[in-house]
Structure 1
Amino acid sequence: MDIISVKQETDMKMMEILRILYEKNEILGAKVISEELEKRGYSLGERAVRYHMHILDERGLTEKIGYRGRQITKKGVSELKKGLIYDQVDFTFSRVQEKMFNVTLNPLTLQGSVIVNISSINELDAIKTINNVFESGLAVSSHYNITERNDKTYFETVCGTTIDGLMQQKGIISKPLYGGLLKVEDYTPINFIEQIAYEKTSITPLEAFTNHNNTSVLDVANDGTGIIPANFRVVPEVKKDEVIALLDSLKKIGICGVIHMGQPGESVLGIPVPESMIGIAIIGGVAPLCAAQEEGYDLDIKLADRYDEYNNMITPNYLMNLPLKKVTNPTNENKVSFILNKIFNLISQVDYDVDNEKGNIIANISYVHKEDIDDSIEVMKELYKSKPEYCMGKRYSVVETNEEDKVGLATICSLTMDGVLTKQGINSTPVYSGILDIYGSNRRFIELISYTGSSVDPHEIFIKKGMHDIHGSLNNEGKILASVHSVNYVARDKTIDTLNSLKEVGLEVLNIGKPNEYTYNAKIEKYNFGYVLSGGLNPIVAIKEQNIPVEVKSIEKIMNFNSFEEL
């Protein structure tokens, strides 16, 4: 059993109380909260609930409303969104399963609830764009809702996870595996080009990719070629006929987001499928909302956020029909590449020698215009001068490119440390990429994505979504890129010695944990310990934050350490 301190266990209970208040969205008393906690595996009597609520009140996360009970505050909602990351990483997939279980729609009567994605709409013109995508058929369902709450307009679409819930309702095991981006050419689905696994992430996969720079739903709607959000699950092959029958019944009521259903054990659109299982790709229910983002509308998209009664949703006067053609090459030779495979191969090529300070390291190479190179280097110098621990070393390299007006700007990638340790006979594994919140002397991860099951370096996702604040960290109130690495506990002393020797050349470690200990709230496997490194891209992101155009790229290639110069 993992070692959890009394404080961590108390924090987890209070975080669960905040979740209950947020999800119920009403004033609740201790009795109701105690009953809800019991359902979630926390045995906490009313008296104990009142004790925890008193602490939450003192922190300003909840407030007492007379004798009726408590409600969550804005500060409490903010804290909940940051969450206890060791709890949040596990909770994200659990939340998907919870949503699936609570789907109650009966396809025959149209009675019951479905899962919906929701987004605030600041400009009502965005609704026209969204409706155009619905008319093209690029959605899970033809049903939607437009609601008004707290002087804001919200648009709700049916989430693809509803289909998983309906299968579960019929006794069919449906296991969501990935959410990602699917390439389409001439209305024909080609293959997944990016994906993130549902498990071991604090941010839902499609949420990670809901950015106007990632999708091109409008292009697919208009011309049949582009990138759309999609998710992927597997079902047992023995249930194939039942799955087909269910999907046929759903088409009749306006739910028809299935892109492709494979054969047993057959890869689907580049994603491998286990033996005796069938892969199914479904369009992301947020596709219409992504289209509005592509046109520049400011949307705050929340995936699988709540439930709606299906027969109370708006039904257009046209039949829903996904406009995509039949997949011509379902198994696709272009298999989705997992970032961890690339990482292990690069780590294996690191031969940097700690003693003579020579050898190959892993480099990130981003690209800036030649006229901006001097300003860019000055920004990097300022960051290193102020907070050297937020940089992965004090070195950089200007790399020539094939483009006349651009140069590459290389920084040392933090995965170099895994390579150096591996060369020393220590098995060091990168576990998570994340956002580390800096507040005074306090540091904690507020977002984490596992390298396992991801096709893209998570740091690139965080950068695209603008979740960083490198310059804020200079004043001890910001957010930096960081990563979590794991080593077996028996190698801890040797690891510490090696990491200490690297500090002499500017390669610093933010934190080295103890076995079975949470490291900046990141959970480490039993019998292992974790260490945390700043992201090698922090100096590059600092440049971006100064409005200097930069094309950010991570984990690019092997370079010789001596080709770098000091800041």
Structure 2
Amino acid sequence: MSESAHRMIEILRILNESDNPTGSKLIADELKKKGFNLGERAVRYHMQLLDEKGYTEKMGYSGRKITELGKETLEKGLIYKQVDFIYSKYEEMIYLCDFDYVNKKGNVVVNVSHIYEKNAYDIIKKVFDSGLCISPYTKIKKIKNGYELKTICGTTIDGILLNNQIPSLLQYGGLLEIEDNIPTRFKDLISYKKTSISPLDAFIAKDMTSILKVIEEGSGVIPANFRMIPATSQKKAIDIFKKLESIGINGIIEVGKPGENVLGIPVSEDMVGIAIVGGITPLCAAQESKYDINMKAGEDFTNFNELTPISKLSNNILKAIKENPKKTTPFLLSKSWNLINNVNYDIETGKGDIIANISKINKVDVDDAIDIMEKTYKKFPEHISPHYKLIENDNNKIDIATVCSLSIDGILLKNGIMSTPKYGGLLELSESPMFLELISYNGSSIDPHKIFIYKNLTSLTNKLTDFNRILASLKEVHYVAKEETKEIISKLKENDFSIYKISKPRELIYNAKIDNYNFGIVAGSGLNTIAAIKEKNIDIEVKAVEKIMPFESMEHL
């Protein structure tokens, strides 16, 4: 569950346990006991959102109480609301940002991070000195277990544009490749819409960024955001960016031309694309160096007058882009549909081509990896696909092929049924299983399950919580095809395809919402056994949705 949703659940629990209306101070105190360092102002912000959703009700000056809808929501969780909330949260923060850059007055949107080791500060400052930030203006204070550092979030720039009558449409958060100090192309992207986890938060994980390598060698990967503005506002926006730079707010990587692709991202006609460095970039660099950093992007507001420069105002080390890449960033569904279309598995014979994930592992680790896969399958026989294949590779590597869940969409298509991949998710196997995180396949360039593996969110072999957490995907099919789909799914289960549940039309399935006139199918990810290997600290390169492969060529655990 994302941090914001977790807080809301905890607030609802506090209110549900109280017989009387409860105020924000008491809620903040109770949250602190549960490990949430949330001030009264932040609590009021969350309470306002809960009021708007009808989960809580304000009882004058006495405080708030939970509604019947809130109690019902508390039982089910908030994930299906959360996938709509992230984008809404940023829209709200853009609207509430009131910073006047001419007079340098007003509130800016800030990221709030907790640093637990003092040595991490030197690395963070090194990144600020390089200019790979939105602004050197920060606010740091000592807290119980370390330091709290507030840094300006890129959403502040969207707020400034809106205050100057320029609509800024936030599109993607992602990872941007740098070569010889020149930005080349977005390597990976996640859309701000239909995700339970903020896109840049999704990419805050070990081995996903290489910011220090960019600073020291000129090449690597950094977090960045992408938005679009109307082409008629381009000149005015550039003028604002120049003025912002003069007061220490920058981070602009590229402003495109009307209808021109920007760093691999297609831009609509009569619109202009803008790429901005991620405001959490300096903190990510410390994380790369193995320091424990708790980062929250776009978390709060702070008056600009309370911030002071952590380093001198300096130019960004990145050089101007000579030419935008002709190739666009490949989106997952575009690639997937082509593979789905080539699936020809026969449900009667149990033979034919399926889609395989291909992950790479060192040869010396293969025996241990297969042992982990076997134990994981025996532990979760109803949730894990037992099919795999080892493929010889170069450089002392072995490829491990597993069955991708998108194979099911291809098999249904072969039988005349349109099945659409909707979400990749993290599923908790409690008495009433529920999705804790969902990322839409639409608008993503990376398989969502890879994100959850990189962020160490699964628990198939390691006990992180009271319940195991596995990878699963959600698909949608039109309700008129339900009976035929059930027959096909039944035959696939006989051949050990990992399929958990078929929902009723418009029913919540494991707390995920299905569109009208559709029903949902939840299938296990072929990366579950790979996640189990990674949990055991075996070095493995995770790759998903890679190639077509004959199902009959695979072995059984």
Judge conservation of contact 2:172–2:192 (CA < 8 Å) in 1. yes
How far the C-alpha of 1:555 sits from its partner, in A, is: 1.3
Larger mean Cα displacement after TM superposition, 309-318 or 278-287: 309-318
SS in 1 for 2:382: helix
2:373 partner amino acid: M
SS in 1 for 2:302: strand
**2:554 matches 1:564:** yes
State the match for 2:34 in structure 1.
none
1:100-179 equivalence runs, <5 A: 100-179=94-173
Are the equivalent residues in 1 in contact too, given 2:57–2:67 (CA < 8 A)?
A: no
**1:46 aligns with one of 59, 65, 86:** 59
State the shift of 1:558 in Å: 0.7
Contact 1:215 1:228 in 2 (8 A): yes
Residue 362 (structure 1) aligned with residue 375 (structure 2): no
Distance 1:105 1:40 in 2: 28
Whole-angstrom distance in 1 between the partners of 2:306 and 2:405: 51
Deviation at residue 14 of structure 1 after TM alignment: 4.4
Instruction: Give how far 1:474 is off.
Output: 12
> Is 485-494 or 13-22 further displaced after alignment?
13-22
Pairing of 1:464-503 with structure 2 (within 5 A): 464-471=454-461, 477-503=467-493
Deviates most, 140-149 or 418-427? 140-149
Q: Secondary structure of 2:300's partner?
A: strand
Is the 1:255–1:320 contact (alpha carbons within 8 Å) kept by the matching residues of 2?
Answer: no
| Alpha-carbon distance change, 14 to 493 in structure 1, aligned in 2, over 3 angstroms | farther
The correspondence for 1:521, drawn from 508, 511, 519, is 511
User: Given the alignment, which residue of 382, 389, 399 partners 1:397?
Assistant: 389
- Which segments of structure 1 move beyond 6 Å, counting only runs of 4 or more? 10-13, 15-20, 27-30, 32-36, 53-56, 473-476
RMSD after superposition:
3.2
> Aligned letter for 2:346?
D
Alignment of 1:318-397 (within 5 A): 318-330=312-324, 332-392=325-385, 394-397=386-389
Q: How does 1:136-535 map to 2 (within 5 A)?
A: 136-316=130-310, 318-330=312-324, 332-392=325-385, 394-403=386-395, 405-439=396-430, 441-471=431-461, 477-535=467-525
Q: Which deviations, in whole Å up to 9, do the C-alpha atoms of 1:38-83 show, x marking residues without a partner?
A: 5567794639986527998x99x9xxxxxxxxxxxxxxxxx99x95
Q: Rate the CA distance shift 1:172–1:388 in 2: closer, same or farther, 3 A.
A: same
The letter for the 2-side match of 1:46 is M
Change (3 A) 1:375 1:188: closer
- In the TM superposition, what is the alpha-carbon distance from 1:566 to its structure 2 partner? 1.7
Look up the SS of the partner of 2:461 in the other structure: helix
Structure 1 residue runs of 5 or longer lacking an equivalent are: 1-9, 62-78
Question: Is 119-128 or 366-375 further displaced after alignment?
Answer: 366-375
SS in 2 for 1:180: strand
- SS where residue 366 of structure 1 aligns? strand
Report how far residue 476 of structure 1 moved.
7.5
Query: Could you give the per-residue CA deviations for residues 309-341 of structure 1, whole angstroms, max 9, x where no partner exists?
Result: 1111112562232222211112x1121000101
Measure, in 1, the Cα distance between the counterparts of 2:52 and 2:272: 32
Q: Contact 2:55–2:69 (CA<8 Å) still a contact in 1?
A: no
SS at match of 2:335: helix
SS in 2 for 1:498: helix
Letter in 2 for 1:387: F
User: Is the 8 Å Cα contact of residues 473 and 480 (structure 1) preserved in structure 2?
Assistant: no
SS at match of 1:337: coil
The aligned counterpart of 1:3 is none
Change in CA separation of 1:488 and 1:305 when aligned onto 2, cut-off 3 Å: same
- Matched residue of 2:439: which SS? strand
Residue by residue over 1:109-166, the C-alpha shift from the partner in whole angstroms, topping out at 9 and shown as x without a partner, is 2111111112111111111111111111111112011123344311221111110011
The 1-side partners of 2:114 and 2:206 are apart by 16
CA distance in 1, matches of 2:63, 2:305: 38
Counting aligned pairs with the same residue, the percent is: 42
1:92-121 deviation per Cα after TM superposition (whole angstroms, max 9, x unaligned): 111111111111111122111111112111
Tell me which of 57, 82, 89 is aligned to 1:88.
Answer: 82
Q: What corresponds to 1:26 in structure 2?
A: 40
TM-score with structure 2 length normalisation?
A: 0.89
CA distance in 2 between partners of 1:28 and 1:274 (Å): 36
Q: How many residues align?
A: 533
Shift of 1:473: 8.0
The residue type equivalent to 1:313 in the other structure is: L
- Give the direction of change, closer, same or farther, for the CA distance of 1:239–1:464 in structure 2 (3 Å limit): same
Contact 1:387 1:474 in 2 (8 A): no
Task: Say if 1:493 and 1:140 are closer, same or farther in 2 by CA, change over 3 A.
Answer: same
State the Cα distance separating 1:236 from its structure 2 match.
Answer: 0.6
Give the structure 2 partner of residue 73 of structure 1: none
Checking the alignment, whether the CA contact within 8 Å between 1:386 and 1:474 is kept in structure 2 is: no
| Alignment TM-score, normalising by the size of structure 1 | 0.87
Q: Could you tell me whether the CA contact under 8 Å between 1:391 and 1:538 is conserved in 2?
A: yes
The answer for the alignment partner of 2:32 in structure 1 is none
- Inter-CA distance 17–485: structure 2 relative to 1 (3 Å threshold): farther
Asked if 2 retains the 8 angstrom alpha-carbon contact of 1:250 and 1:256, the reply is: yes
Q: 1:343/1:29 Cα in 2 relative to 1: closer, same or farther (>3 Å)? A: closer
Rounded to whole Å, the distance in 1 between the matches of 2:464 and 2:89 is 35
1: CA distance, partners of 2:242 / 2:359: 48
Equivalent residue letter for 2:159: G
**Residue of structure 2 equivalent to 1:4:** none
Alignment partner, residue 553 of structure 1 = 543
